[in-house]
Each structure stands twice: as structure tokens, then as C-alpha cells.
Amino acid sequence: MDDRPAAAELLLSTSELVVGHEGVQACAPVTIELPPAAALALIGPNGVGKSTVLHTLVGLLPPLAGEVEFDGEPVDERRSPFRRDVAQVLDDDAFFPSLTAREHLLLTARGHGVVDAETAVDDELAAFGIEDRAGALPTKLSSGQRRRLALAAAFVRPARLMVLDEPERRLDADMRQALAERLATARDDGLAVLFASHDAAFVQTVADQALLLGDEECRLLPPGDAPDALSGMHG
């Protein structure tokens, strides 16, 4: 029996998507089918094109070939409904220098029309362990605290799909674990999660599928094989 979700059930889908920069292909063509309440990890060695795939899937880079669909429509990040539904934390480490950590989150929450934005922001500051740094400007935050702030912004607003590029980066072990468990819970509650990662434990906790990217082919791994593939990659 074919256990693949029907097209109507898919939130994000693409077939034989070719990604790259300025005409230079980054990795083998990618096929992704991600329904709600599912998490897919992109794994592969450094430089294979994981970030490029993520940027292309959310419309920040044009594909070299192929098309990405979100909720049955071609992805177009210029459309408000797409931005309303998709939360993303990619490789940005950019902040308004005159806004505090709390104000950054309030901007995101109010921008999305979050009901009781103040409480939502306070909850996320506490969840990411930066409530005591709420009034600090970005220049006064450590690299790890800025990473937590960027991740908190993805949780302070509603979303149907969350796209994260190496979310475990610059986080300590406890926060990694907490984030992984939180993502797994959100996934079980209906959130679709797409992320790139090098962390075997993180992938095992969050993802129910992993896509191994390579120059020759990109193949879907059985759920239990991702940690072994990652271990092999990092010796």
C-alpha cells in the first residue's frame, strides 16, 4: 500500500527541484513532500547545498529548475498569506541596533497580529532563557543569546510551517535538547518542520524523515538511518 500523502494533504512539495547560485547547481535535484504534522531534516556534508535548498524552498532564491508549491500554490514569498504561514530562521544574524531583545519580539508578534503580544513575548523570552536579557540591545547579547532571540521570533507568532537552518548552532546542550523537544511537540500538534542539521540527536528527536543531500543524488533515508549517516559524515 502506498503510504505517501495525497497531494491535497501536502503543505510543501517539490519534485526534481534544481537549486544553486548564478546558474551553478549546488546539489542533485531535490524532491520533497511535507505534510502538516511532519518534520523533515536535510542532512549532508558542509557545502552540499542544504542552506541553498532551504532558501529556495521559501522563495528567497529562484530555483534553477522546477517549482515549489506551498498549500497547493507556487511559493511566492511576496504574498502575505505565505509569510503569515511560514516562519523561518535561516542564517541571519542581523538586528536593529537600537531595539532591545524584547522589542524585536514585540515587533514580530504585533506585526503578525498576535493576541496578547506582551504575554506571548514574555513566554518566549522565558522559554529561551533570555528573560533577564530582555532589555539588552543586540550588541550586548552573546552570540548564543542572539541565536536564541532569532529562534524565539519563530515561536512568538503562529505558523503552519517552520523552516530552520541548523537550529542547534550556537546553542548549549540543554537548550538544544529543549528546542528539539519543543519542535517535536509542535510537530505533533500539527506544525510542519523543515530543517537542516548536523546534530544526530536533534535530528532523531525532531525529524520523522531525513533527506540526505549529495552531488550525485538526494535520497530519503528511513527514520532510523539519519543518525548513522550523520555519524559517518563527521567521523
Partner 1 sequence: MARPSADRAAELDGPAVRRLTRQSAAQRAVTTLGARIGDAWSTLVSVAIGLGLFGGWLNSVRDAVAGRSPGSGTALPSRVTAVAAGVVALAALTTLLDRLGPVSASPAAAAWWLPLPADRARLLRSELGRVAGTTAVTTALLCAPVAAVWSRPPSFSMVATTVLGGTAAPSGLVGAVALLQTRGHRGVLAPVTGAVAVGAGALAAGLAVAPWAGDALTAVSRHGFPEFGWLTAAIMVVAAAAVLIAADRGLGRLRAGTLRAAGTASAFAAASVFSLDTRDLGRALASAPRTPRTGRRLTLVRRPWQAVTAADLLLLSRSPWQCGQLVLATSVPVLAARTDGLDRLPAATAVGLLVGWLAAAVAVGHPARFAHAAPAIDRLLPLSSGQVVAARSVAPALVLTAVCGLSGLLVGVGSPSLLAWAALAVACVPAWTAAALRGAYRPELDWSGAVLASPMGVLPAGIGATLVQGIDVGVAGTLPLVVVVLTGAEPSPALVGVQFAWASCLAVAALTHLARRRAT
Nearest residue (CB) to partner 1, 74 versus 214: 74
Using the structure block, give the residue that is written with the C-alpha cell 524584547.
102
Residue 157 interacts with partner 1 (CB under 8 A)?
Answer: yes
| Interface characters, 5-44, with partner 1 (x: CB under 8 A) | ----------------------------------------
Least separation in angstroms between CB 113 and partner 1: 4
Binding partner 1 (rule: CB under 8 A), the pick from 64, 180, 183, 191 is: 191
| Contact between 153 and partner 1 per CB under 8 A | yes
Binder of partner 1 out of 16, 67, 73, 77 (CB under 8 A): 77
Q: Does 122 bind partner 1 (CB under 8 A)?
A: no
Residue from 84, 169, 170, 198 in contact with partner 1 (CB under 8 A):
84
In the complex, least distance from residue 208 CB atom to partner 1, rounded to whole angstroms: 19
Strand partners for 12: 34, 70
Distance in angstroms (rounded) separating the CA atoms of residues 221 and 212: 7
Pick from 112, 169, 170, 198: which binds partner 1 (CB under 8 A)?
112
Q: Does 113 bind partner 1 (CB under 8 A)?
A: yes
Q: Give me 198's grid cell.
A: 548536523
Closer to partner 1 by CB, 137 or 201: give it. 137
Q: Are strands 73-74 and 68-70 parallel, antiparallel or unpaired?
A: antiparallel
By CB under 8 A, is residue 169 in contact with partner 1?
no
Stretch that binds partner 1, among 1-9, 11-19, 38-46, 85-93 (CB under 8 A): 85-93
Q: Which is nearer to partner 1, 7 or 65 (CB)?
A: 65
**Contacts for 55 with CB less than 8 Å, ≥ 6 apart:** 19, 61, 90
Long-range contacts from 200-203, C-beta under 8 angstroms, 24+ separation: 200/226, 200/227, 200/230, 200/231, 201/176, 201/177, 201/227, 202/167, 202/168, 202/176, 203/41, 203/43, 203/227, 203/230
Cβ neighbour number for residue 70 with a 10 Å cutoff: 26
* Strand pairing class (12-17; 30-34): antiparallel
**Part in contact with partner 1 (CB under 8 A); list of ranges 28-36, 63-71, 73-81, 227-235:** 73-81
Place of cell 514585540: 106
- 181, three cell numbers: 523537544
The answer to whether residue 71 forms part of the interface with partner 1 (CB under 8 A) is no
For 156-175, letters b (16+ CB in 10 Å) and e give: bbebbbbbbbbbbbbbeeeb
CA angle (60, 66, 71) in 5-degree steps: 70
Binding site for partner 1 (CB under 8 A): 55, 59-62, 77-78, 80-81, 83-84, 87-88, 92, 94-100, 103-104, 106-115, 120, 123, 127, 150, 153, 155-159, 182, 186, 189, 191
